[in-house]
Amino acid sequence: MSRIGNLPILIPDGVTVEKAGRLVVVKGPKGELNLNLDPKIGVLIDGLNIFVKRKNDQKATKALHGLFRAILANMIKGVTDGWSKTLELVGVGFRAQSSDGNLSLTVGFSHSVEIKALPGIQFEVSDNTKIKILGIDKQLVGQVAAKIRAIKPPEPYKGKGIRYEGEYIRRKAGKTGKVGGVGG
């Protein structure tokens, strides 16, 4: 029994949801998103609610049931409120600049790293060390944030690098010299 998949999704004011065959289109004040449904999953739009139904009770179909319900709920939240991820740059001389919608990072390499904004993604830089990634597609926002973080992930000794806001980095103790012994 899928507890998530059986929950109805409420359609807020200003959002329209249309179904044409296997394609579900969600339109809202921030934009429009599309979703191709799996043949094992059906969607019923009933007034202000969306119900996600499955065709059978096989294990793979049950897994898709909750997945597609969560994706549809994320699409509706995306077109109304939008999604965002915040990254922090930690390190001496680490900084970010935004120009023409693109992002330029100085993170300890001999050159600056240029990142072009994908369609539907916006970058906001504050304090030269905080990058806010905004968009209506939750998966795309998370993927862009992960790719930026992968440029210089935080290292465990000093904690320098690009990290998510509020992320805890486990620190390691560095090297220690031998105590009381003569090198040999």
Whole-angstrom Cα Rg for the chain: 23
pLDDT of 142 higher than 70: yes
Mark whether 88 and 156 lie in a shared domain. Answer: yes
Overall number of domains in the chain: 2
| Cα gap 20→28, rounded to integer Å | 17
Return the pLDDT at 178. 61
pTM of the model: 0.87
In a domain, 38, yes or no: yes
Q: According to the model, what pLDDT value does residue 8 have?
A: 93
**Mean pLDDT lowest for which of 37-46, 84-93, 96-105, 172-181?**
172-181
Whether the predicted pLDDT of 155 surpasses 80 = yes
pLDDT at residue 1 greater than cutoff 70: no
Q: Could you tell me if 24 and 87 lie in one domain?
A: no
Do 89 and 151 sit in the same domain of this protein? Answer: yes
Q: Is residue 31 one of the residues assigned to a domain?
A: yes
Confidence at residue 177, expressed as pLDDT on a 0 to 100 scale: 62
**What span, in angstroms and rounded, lies between the C-alpha atoms of 116 and 24?**
29
**What integer is the mean pLDDT of 111-131?**
94
- CATH number for 31: 3.90.930.12
* 17 within some domain: yes
Q: Is the pLDDT confidence value at 47 over 80?
A: yes
Domain hosting residue 15, numbered range? 9-80
Domain limit, last residue, from 49, 80, 111: 80
pLDDT of residue 2: 58
> Are residues 153 and 126 part of one domain?
yes
Q: Using CA atoms, how far apart are residues 140 and 30, in angstroms rounded to an integer?
A: 15
Q: What is the mean pLDDT of the chain?
A: 92
* pLDDT tops 90 at residue 73: yes
